[in-house]
Amino acid sequence: MNNSSYAVKPELFNDQKEQIKLTFIEEVKDITKEDTVVRLKTNVDDICIMCFEQETIRITSSHQAFDLDGSFSLEPLQPTEHVTLVSEQDYSEIRFNAITVKVNHKPFGISIYKQEKLRFVQKAVAFNDTQSYLFLDRDRDDFIYGLGEKTGFLNKNNEKTTMWNRDVFEPHTRTNKELYQSINVFTHMTKENKYGFFLDNASKVTFDFDSNVNEGVIITDSGKLDYYVFLGDTQKDILRQYTDLSGKPYLPPLWALGYHQSRHSYESVDVLLDVFNNFKSKKIPVDAIYLDILYMERYKVFSFNKETYKGIENVIKKLKDEGVKIVPIVDPGVKIEEGYDVYEEGLRNNRYCKYKDGTVFTGEVWPGDSVFYDFMNSDIRKAWGKNHKFYTDLGIEGIWNDMNEPSVFNGEGNTMSLDVLHDMDGKKIVHQELHNLYGLGMSMATYEGLKDLNGNRPFVLTRAGYSGIQKYATVWTGDNRSSWEHLEMTLPMCLNLGLSGISNCGPDIGGFMDDTTEELLIRWTQIGTFLPFFRNHSSIGIKRQEPWMFGERAEYITKEYIRLRYKIIRYIYSEAFKSHKTGLPIMRPLVLEYENDPIAHGIHDQFLVGETLLVAPILRPDEKYRKVYLPEGIWYDFFTNKRYEGGQFIIVKAELDEIPVFVKGGSIIPMSEWSMNTDQLQDFIKIHVYPSGASFTDSFIVDDGISLDAPHAEIKVQFEGDEVTIKTVGTYDHGLTLDIKVIGD
């Protein structure tokens, strides 16, 4: 097909089956270099190309509005100074050190090479009145990882999905194209090649890797076409480059990595205390208990019900003194009510989202008719953050942000009107173009507010987000169901979030909706033991899911796995610290560590914690055996210390109280006795050393677990022959007692 003006691609149809007319960029009419930017003038549009020191190419195009301003969510990068433009009759080459961007003049196309090897092909670009279309080279046998929080398998090739933050109450299945998060990043891998791709566009975006046989199509509903190509040599390099741009994951406080208990809702102080006392008397560890919307006075944020939560300030202090934090939910909707100081203060100071004519947008959520802070404005974000003094004065250190897609019960598409006009620090932009940023803006405001008020590391949990959310919040995967399908879905959803820069994530353990069962709760808790975020949460009107609600057997098994979490929590915290520095996720698919192993590419029912722990959970009812793939190297059964050669599948038995877990040879795991919470962690650590047959050095990180920019210590363990030496590097005086256990001795 010729890329002629108003050409029609036969596979592009709307709901009425009418062909969509597109104007394609056909030819480059002029090309110039302006400092570090190369500008192409085409028959339709200007296109800008630039390169950053991180081997990252940015290509920007918009037939509506064109600029190179910074992004709401991204970090500034240093442009490559060395830019050479060489133009021939049919093509031009833009050379940035080892990277060359080749631009075909007619028909228009872009190819990117690194050290003369082809890495990326943009086949075509087209527009209609509001949308942009980007056509990329793709084959059905390729692998595409990332795209954030999506249902289905780990490999997103041969799928079609949409980025549009939405409150999805129906059961999550592979047919769900929209969920709560919109993360427009993926890594495309073939047998010979790989690249990373990020599209910075917060409107509705469709990634279609299914309809056209030899290409992928990316469609933006509005806004500019602004994308980045990452040219790292490995998948890890690409992820580091992407998180250089979008930001490294925040380092949560240590207590945020403990076990958390939640329910919609603990309806009174008495119920809350009963839950706490059960954990205490049954000696089940817990670091946080959550308050869902019933704690509020008629669902008004920044309030407590004066009857059912009378004396809550004393309860918060009592639990905090015993090492347990209270985490309340805070939604964005502010109830319209005369005399409600939060509402009236926001109205006086012009903080709510408005239409173009200045009318304040109103929508129905839990409190009834409500208004919404405009989180696109930095001053309004600061004001929202300051509101949290209501909570921090009571000793609260963590906040749970929900309904922040934003969800609006009576709105078209159950969200805010698309023609609401946001004030982005002087720029007026309609909600349609910024929709997917709203949850990110709320979490930014909450994080910065807690940081300023408490002076320590905040903990923020969010349902909605966009690229960059990892800098401010932990993400949970929303309102799942108590089903085995959703248990299995936990793994690829969290793994792809990690491959999209969001390291701190997890599901509702046990499932949010529908009654769970003893077996399902046990198997989900076993998985949760090794996830970055470990919270049991359930809905109102269904069977409660605390560990003691399913009889003695379930209580005993879940208690043992929650205790195991605390035995290994220093390892998990160390991985969170490393993730904060590198951008690599805590929870990893095998393909991230073993990208040259073709078997690893297809595995979505196992995962790694860091490089060291391999977890292969039971994901089906009544199963007691499963097949486990051990990649190359030496592996040890975590529980029995049995040694295995890697590069093979094995069959392992896993009774109801067992989960297959393996440790890679050539590594260490710091272990301690369990404690009731992270405030009471033991100071004695036994470092388990797993030989590989060769000398190696491994390490873990410790700090005080709460301070911003805290000094830390790296405890290095060197294993050579039969000798083990320990060396501490860093300024933090950890005060720990260290012992060594060599596995196999």
Q: Is the pLDDT of residue 213 over 90?
A: no
Which of the following is catalytic: 405, 508, 546, 605? 405
Distance between CA atoms of residues 586 and 504, nearest Å: 8
Res. 86 pLDDT band, cuts 50 70 90: very high
DSSP-derived letter for residue 295 is G
Answer whether residue 500 is part of any domain.
Answer: yes
Please give the pLDDT value at position 68: 54
On whether residue 151 sits in a domain, the answer given is yes
Q: Which of 231, 246, 261 is the last residue of a domain?
A: 246
- Is residue 130 within 8 A of residue 221, CB to CB? The reply is yes
Rounded distance between C-alpha atoms, residue 571 and residue 387, angstroms: 35
Domain count, the chain: 2
Inter-residue contact 247 to 75 (CB < 8 Å): yes
Tell me, what's the pLDDT at 69? 61
What's the whole-number mean pLDDT along residues 221-235?
Answer: 95
So what's the pLDDT on residue 67?
55
* Domain end among 213, 246, 279: 246
| The pLDDT of residue 3 | 32
Summarised one tens digit per residue, pLDDT across range 527-561 is: 999 999 999 999 999 999 999 999 999 999 999 99
pLDDT at 157 over 90: yes
Helices (H) and strands (E) in the chain, counts: 14, 48
The dihedral over CA atoms of 364, 365, 370, 374, expressed in degrees to the nearest 10, equals -110
Residue (of 119, 124, 121, 118) closest to 106 by Cα position: 124
Looking at the DSSP assignment, which residues form a beta bridge with residue 95? 84, 100
Assess whether 170 carries a catalytic annotation: no
State which residues form the domain around 62: 24-246
Mean pLDDT of the region 691-713: 97
Phi, psi angles (nearest 5°) of residue 644: -130, 145
**pLDDT by residue (tens digit) across 333-379?**
999 999 999 999 999 999 999 999 999 999 999 999 999 999 999 99
> Is it the case that residue 301 has pLDDT exceeding 70?
yes
Residue 658 has pLDDT above 50, yes or no: yes
Digit-coded pLDDT (tens) for 250-272: 999 999 999 999 999 999 999 99
Region 95-104 average pLDDT: 97
The answer, yes or no, to whether residue 148 has pLDDT greater than 50, is yes
Residue 142 banded pLDDT, cuts 50, 70, 90: very high
Q: Is the pLDDT of residue 5 over 80?
A: no
Helix (H) or strand (E) holding 530: none
Q: How confident is the model at residue 130 (pLDDT cuts 50, 70, 90)?
A: confident
pLDDT of residue 173: 80
Which among 319, 277, 291 is positioned nearest to 679, based on CA atoms? 319
132 domain-assigned: yes
Residue 497 has pLDDT above 90, yes or no: yes
pLDDT value of residue 546: 99
CATH number, domain with residue 535 = 2.60.40.1180
Among all chains, which residue has been given the structure tokens 């039971």? 618
Which range (227-231, 296-300, 741-745) has the least confidence? 741-745
Pick the catalytic residue from 402, 575, 679, 703.
Answer: 402
Please identify which of the residues 159, 167, 479, 555 carries the catalytic annotation: 479
Q: Would residue 29 count as lying in a domain?
A: yes
DSSP string, 111-155: EEEETTEEEEEEEEEEE-SS-EEEEEE--TT-EEEE-SS-SS-S-
What is the pLDDT, as a whole number, of residue 728?
A: 97
User: Model confidence over 370-423: pLDDT tens digits?
Assistant: 999 999 999 999 999 999 999 999 999 999 999 999 999 999 999 999 999 999
Say if CB 162 and CB 220 are below 8 A apart.
Answer: no
Q: Please compute the mean of the pLDDT values over residues 666-671 and round it to a whole number.
A: 98
Task: Answer yes or no: is 192 within a domain.
Answer: yes
Cα–Cα dist 713/711, whole Å: 7
Share of the chain above pLDDT 90, in %: 92
Q: What is the CATH number of the domain that holds 203?
A: 2.60.40.1760
- Write out pLDDT tens, residues 27-44: 999 999 999 999 999 999
Please check whether residue 127 lies inside any domain of the structure: yes
Question: How high is the pLDDT of residue 16?
Answer: 32
Neighbours of 228 (CB within 10 A): 24
- Token look-up 């890697």 returns 646
Q: Give the amino acid at 549.
A: M
Among 203, 219, 246, where does a domain finish? 246
In this structure, is residue 96 part of a structural domain? yes
402 is catalytic: yes
Tokens 């951008």 label which residue?
A: 583
Q: Does residue 70 register a pLDDT over 70?
A: no
Residue 35 lies inside a defined structural domain of this protein: yes
Q: What is the mean pLDDT of the chain?
A: 95
Please report which confidence band the pLDDT of residue 731 belongs to, taking 50, 70 and 90 as the band edges.
very high
**pLDDT at site 4:** 29
16, two tokens:
């009425």
